[in-house]
Amino acid sequence: MPFSHHSHSGQFCAHAKDSLESCILQAISKNLRVFCLTEHMPRADLRDFYPEEVELGLTPQDLKDRFAEFYDTAVALRDKYKEEITLLIGFEVDYIRPSMLAEIKELQETYHFDIFVGSVHHVDEIPIDFSEEMFLRAISAIEAVDTGAEIAEAYNNGAKIERFPEVQITESKGEERLFEVYFDTQYAMLKALKPPVIGHFDLIRLKCKDYKVDFRTLGNVWEKIVRNVKFISEYGGMVEINSAATRKGWEYPYPGPDVLQLMKEEGIKFVLSDDSHGIAQVAFGYEKSLDYLEKQGVEEVWYYEWIGWERGINDGILRPEDRYLPKIRPECVGPKSARVKDLRGIVPA
């Protein structure tokens, strides 16, 4: 299975391992044909720093500098390895509060990107995939913001939580309410950015009581999911089959079967991602992802490739070979498809 549309390395991400180049070499040795380098965007506000970043004493300027270094390194490496692998350059979105849109736009103006991954890691500003403790904290933050109570839970590191106007108030409580606000937040992100790749669509299940919860049984939540999926389908976004879930104990990748079936019905195109955070995770769990897709009746996956370039699925050879690399721009990459059954056996287990 020769593509990953989402990756990180320890050189530029505090919670990952290994250099960017060693991750790329691993992708080549695993027969990946397309590997997208999508480091987290730099966060400009200290209140959004993760504990490990605080411990390291990092500042917003450090994250900005590190991203600049990531970009330059990625540009050099895509040239160095162009014969072996298509390296697409992008970033992973963190749209934590409405006012962050300006930062995202600025990043997109400062650099050129081929693609980017539209993800939601925060609900009412609180990280939802970091720890159980933070997950529960997110539930209490939502409750506080819903009721408008002037209590500590309505604040994030001293500043009042800024909620997306897309978040609708309902009577739901607890996890169900968290799911609702997550999908409203995702809708805000989708509308504002129309990401070419949607990251781990149902990440909100990761720390919940039962990741196999069937969203179709939760009326409000399901309505929001249907709305989001239809929106993605309309603008032509592609949803990743993200194998990171299987290294976190799930039987299948993101998204779960209830959501996957809906997406299939709505004609959504799927791309493959490992969301790797180091060489040990490059193409990790891909056999499981293929099994899952086949079991769910998905016969085709999509990937982004340089327009006008052809890289053999089986041999990985780039044709034509005597060209200059295209510019790093969304106009220079386009979607191509491959049969799931043709990907069997290409990536070593």
Give residues in contact with Zn ion (CB under 5 A): 92, 119, 275
- Rounded to whole angstroms, the Cα distance separating 21 from 9 reads 9
Nearest to 33 by CA among 325, 309, 326, 320: 309
Nearest to 89 by CA among 330, 335, 331: 330
**Nearer to Zn ion (CB atom), residue 119 or residue 156:** 119
* Dihedral sign for Cα atoms in the order 324, 238, 108, 123: negative
- Rounded to whole angstroms, the Cα distance separating 96 from 141 reads 14
Closest contact distance (angstroms) between CB of 151 and Zn ion is: 30
Instruction: Give the pairing of strands 276-277 and 310-311.
Output: unpaired
Angle, alpha carbons 230-231-232 (nearest 5°): 90
Closest contact distance (angstroms) between CB of 172 and Zn ion is: 25
Continuous segment of H or E residues that includes residue 150:
none
DSSP 109: H
Residue with tokens 């590997």: 35
Nearest to 186 by CA among 195, 173, 177, 176: 195
